[in-house]
């Protein structure tokens, strides 16, 4: 399921590795050639860029490692879990909302892909069809009922 996410992260990792091993050392060398490092803005900027790149490289490597370890067989087959597509009906307005529970790397709120760690995602975990869900939002509490559920195990699009 997470092959596309891992592929996207690995592409970013390659770009960052190039930046870290080729571009940043060139910038550092150029800045060092300018002289006095204590007041050398170019040098300090390049060092900060290197630290940021190192942090991002480490984070991406960790995310890839975590995604590869995910055991899909341990995700609920009957309730909402990672990869589920959930249809909700607002109990007040009757309005329908559809969410897909995703890992943080795949969140796209505009298209209904929400994190399992977000308040809505947490509220939905384990819910089944016909279960009521209370979601705390800044404007107050919203009440929904789960009208449809497609778990990661039922999906044919993965």
- For 22, other C-beta atoms within 10 Å of its C-beta total 10
What's residue 38's pLDDT?
A: 78
CATH number of the domain located at residue range(s) 3-70 in this protein: 1.10.287.180
Quickly tell me which residue has 């900027």 as its tokens: 45
Q: Is the pLDDT assigned to residue 3 strictly greater than 90?
A: no
Burial of 5 (0-12, 13-18, 19+ CB in 10 A): middle
CB 103 within 8 A of CB 67: yes
pLDDT band at 40 (very low <50, low <70, confident <90, very high): confident
pLDDT band at 88 (very low <50, low <70, confident <90, very high): very high
pLDDT band at 158 (very low <50, low <70, confident <90, very high): low
48-66 confidence digits (pLDDT tens): 999 999 999 999 999 999 9
Share of the chain above pLDDT 70, in %: 99
Alpha helices in the chain (DSSP H): 3-18, 24-33, 41-69, 119-124
99-112 confidence digits (pLDDT tens): 999 998 899 999 99
Per-domain residue ranges for the chain? 3-70, 74-150
Residue 116: both structure tokens together: 């399992």
Which one is the CATH code of 74-150: 3.40.50.300, 2.40.30.20, 3.10.50.30, 3.40.1030.10?
Answer: 3.10.50.30
């Amino acid at each position: 399921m997470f092959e596309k996410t891992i592929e996207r992260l690995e592409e970013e990792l390659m770009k960052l590795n190039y930046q870290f091993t080729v571009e940043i050392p060139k910038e550092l060398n150029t800045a060092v050639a300018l002289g006095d490092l204590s007041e050398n803005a170019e040098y300090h900027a390049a060092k900060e860029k290197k630290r940021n790149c190192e942090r991002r490289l480490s984070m991406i490597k960790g995310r890839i490692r975590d995604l590869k370890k995910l055991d899909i067989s341990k995700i609920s087959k009957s309730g909402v879990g990672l990869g589920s597509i959930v249809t909700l009906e607002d109990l007040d307005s009757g309005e329908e909302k559809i969410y897909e529970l995703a890992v943080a790397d795949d969140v796209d709120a505009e298209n209904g892909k929400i994190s399992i760690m977000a308040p809505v995602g947490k509220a939905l975990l384990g819910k089944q069809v016909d279960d009521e869900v209370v979601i705390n939002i800044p404007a107050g509490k919203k009440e929904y009922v789960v009208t449809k559920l497609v778990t990661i195990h039922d999906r044919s699009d993965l």
